[in-house]
Amino acid sequence: MKDMQHASFTKRTLLYFAASSFVALLCVSHYAQAQTVSNPDFLITWKTSGSNIPSFYVGKALPTYGSQITASLELVSGGKILNLSGQTIYWYLNDTLIGGGSGVQQVTFPPFGAPPSVLDLRVVLPNYNGSYFEHSIQIPMVNAEVVMYAPYPNGQFSNNPLTLTAIPYFFDVTDATKLSYTWTVNGITGTSAENPQQAQITLPQGTTSGASVSVSVSAENNIDSTIAAASENLTYQSQL
């Protein structure tokens, strides 16, 4: 009889612990799932239109005067993208509301202020699964630039004529050839009708070694009057 009572007690005990363990596992699983879903990762991406860059440039086109920025939001949890179609989403730029509504995961806007500056883009989900979430990123706003490509180490050259090229960045144009280029060599200004982005400079016969050549170039967008300039001081070294 005692053996039967002991066996019955052992069986009840095992069933109790099994049931308790199952409930505990359910609670842990539910808690882990709740933690994962309630703390998603924000993935905000953005791109710029109206900011021309050279085809060989591997960096990102940065916004400047006249640009438009398009930003997109995804929420990721457990390696999966969450459905935000029914969620209220608000977008703020430098604390100013620029868009939002139910399922608005993308917004397009012009940058505020004048470059150079840093834009603060913030997205808010005021009631995601009963919780408030927000996330912000910073977007650099830059001036248009022009770089003078002068492939002469230490600014010294011996070939005559020498060739220089203007390479513009971040202008609000569809093509760099739509800009106006002006070259100045030792105080004399001119343009190149055949290839305005390039200057071919021929030194006068008898130029002595060590002669300095000061070159500057400006690139201008005639539509919005955006202008950028660059300069180089080069030294002629005779091969003789």
CATH number, domain containing residue 132: 2.60.40
Q: What pTM was computed for the model?
A: 0.77
Output the pLDDT for position 146. 97
Is the separation of the CB atoms in 106 and 71 below 8 Å? yes
Same domain, 15 and 68: no
Output the pLDDT for position 13. 36
Same domain, 165 and 189: yes
Output the pLDDT for position 38. 58
Owner of token pair 């000061």: 214
Same domain, 43 and 137: yes
The string of pLDDT tens digits covering residues 193-224 is: 678 999 999 998 888 989 999 999 999 999 99
Closest CA to 184 of 228, 205, 214, 219: 214
Domain count, the chain: 3
Same domain, 151 and 70: no
Output the pLDDT for position 74. 97
Same domain, 25 and 53: no
Is the separation of the CB atoms in 66 and 224 below 8 Å? yes
Output the pLDDT for position 190. 79
- In the three-class reduction of DSSP (H, G, I as helix; E, B as strand; rest coil), residue 14 is classed as helix
Name residues whose C-beta falls within 8 Å of residue 67's C-beta, 6 or more positions apart in sequence.
48, 49, 50, 51, 110, 111, 172
Q: Which domain holds residue 49?
A: 39-141
What burial class does residue 47 get, using C-beta atoms within 10 Å of its C-beta: 0-12 exposed, 13-18 middle, 19+ buried?
middle
From 141, 162, 188, the end of a domain falls on 141
Output the pLDDT for position 159. 85
DSSP state of 193: S
Same domain, 135 and 154: no
From 104, 121, 141, the end of a domain falls on 141
Output the pLDDT for position 106. 98
Same domain, 124 and 175: no
Closest CA to 149 of 119, 181, 104, 125: 181
Output the pLDDT for position 136. 97
Same domain, 137 and 203: no
The residue ranges of the chain whose pLDDT is under 50 are 1-36
Same domain, 107 and 185: no
Same domain, 50 and 3: no
Same domain, 134 and 50: yes
Cα–Cα distance, 66 to 132 (Å, whole number): 34
Same domain, 16 and 88: no
